[in-house]
Structure 1
Amino acid sequence: MVRPQGPPPQALAVPGMRLLARFIDSLIIGTLTLGVWIATSAWLYSLKGEDSRGTPVALILIAWELLVILFFEPLTTAMGGTIGKAVCGLRVVQVETGNKLGFGHALGRWLCYLGIGMVPVLGLINVLSCIWNEPFRQCMHDRAANTAVVKRRWQ
């Protein structure tokens, strides 16, 4: 059997480290979300429920939350890796080239992750699928985006 072009087996991230990185990133995103919520709520509370243009506080909070949820992970991934992946010595690369992702590619990968996670049980299967997937230990969102998670220093 011919192995498809991509990272060599010794470069691939260990599934346990990927899961640890995801856990760290989830804590960071949760903390950021809570922090934005508290700070914005306190500021907007002083506005008595509406800003100077009459925009409801809840709408502004939702907009801030969407910005954090939608752009934090893709932005950090495009810059070389999320904080969790950096702590665990990992990075996300394009399967064929081994290059880091651009912002659009990272955003598409993240949107796949979020979409899969909205289906009951499928989100868990997605995260765990790197354990049995061959040849590049990809989760479902990695396969959709044609990416792989590798050790930071493997070349």
Structure 2
Amino acid sequence: MSTPPFDPNRPQDRPPQYPVVPGQQPQQPGQYGGPPSPYPGQPGYPNQPAYPNQPGGYGPAQQGYNPYGGGGGYGYNYSLPGQLASWGSRVLASIVDSIVPIIVIVVGVITALAISGDSDELSNAGGAAMVIGYLASIVFQIWNRVVRQGRTGQSLGKKVVGLKVVAPETGALIGFGRNFGREVCAFIFNQFCFLNVLWPLWDDKHQTWHDKVASDIVIKL
């Protein structure tokens, strides 16, 4: 059976027609003879730029723009939720944290003297009251500086003053374990060298030695 010759007047021999949208150029068949692209601007279609710089599209990168550059200041790759805490605000937060333990110890001492009735020699009950006061003070400091601060980034003193301990890499909380190591180092450094407390005065990140060991920063919210 022979193939009939091409006849442009026959409907089956005519090329496919595509609708013309008013105000636009007639569309041409797509790549490999396919229909025109329903998504103009995609690569592979004639007379269309790849990813035109339009709102919502993927425009060419602007000169000088670094999508991976940091914009948070202080050399961090994110925006800090606050400024680095000043030395004075950190001292104030430490004073507030010390008030409750001191009150607990004073209450224990007063109770011990009231039970014993003699300041020169404490009774067994008076001695027990004083020991309980000291233990309660230690328990409070562990809860406040280790547990609470590890979970929320704020001791009670930092909460009152508006400070927070965060990781410099992400701005997130440093976690319980890292905060525990931080407080152990703070206790050791403060016992042997008072310079640890003064270090934020000239440090570029306002860090103490225990901040540097734990790799954290303290910010003002």
Amino acid at match of 2:124: G
Contact (CA 8 Å) 2:146, 2:180: kept in 1 or not? yes
Given the two structures, how large is their TM-score scaled by the length of structure 1?
A: 0.69
The within-5 A match list for 1:72-83 is: 72-80=144-152, 81-83=154-156
Aligned pairs (5 A) from 1:2-81: 3=75, 11-35=83-107, 37-38=108-109, 41=112, 49=124, 57=128, 63-80=135-152, 81=154
Provide structure 1 residue ranges, at least 5 long, that are not aligned to the other structure: 51-55
Superposition deviation, residue 92 in structure 1? 0.7
Q: Which digits, 9 at most, give the CA deviation of each residue in 1:95-116, with x for residues without a partner?
A: 2121123222222111111111
- Indicate the residue corresponding to 2:165 in structure 1: 92
Scaled by the length of structure 2, what TM-score is found? 0.51
Residue of structure 2 aligned with 1:131, choices 197, 201, 204: 201
Amino acid at match of 1:126: N
Q: 2 CA distance for matches of 1:146 and 1:72?
A: 20
Query: Residues 151, 62 of structure 1: CA spacing in aligned structure 2 closer, same or farther, 3 A cutoff?
Result: closer
Does residue 105 in structure 1 map to residue 178 in structure 2?
yes
1:150 equivalent in structure 2: 219
Counterparts in 2 of 1:94 and 1:26: CA distance versus 1, 3 Å: same
For residues 145 and 65 of structure 1, the distance between their equivalents in structure 2, rounded to whole angstroms, comes to 25
Paired amino acid for 1:129: W
For the 8 Å contact 2:87–2:200, the answer to whether it is kept is yes
Aligned AA (1:105): R
Greater C-alpha radius of gyration: 2
In structure 2, runs of 5+ residues without a counterpart are 1-73, 117-122
**Residue 40 of structure 1: CA displacement?**
8.0
RMSD: 3.3
Structure 1 residue 147: deviation in Å? 0.9
Q: Deviation of residue 79 (structure 1)? A: 3.5
Residues in 1 aligned to 2:85 and 2:208: alpha-carbon distance in whole angstroms: 12
Equivalent pair of 1:12/1:149 in contact (CA under 8 Å): yes
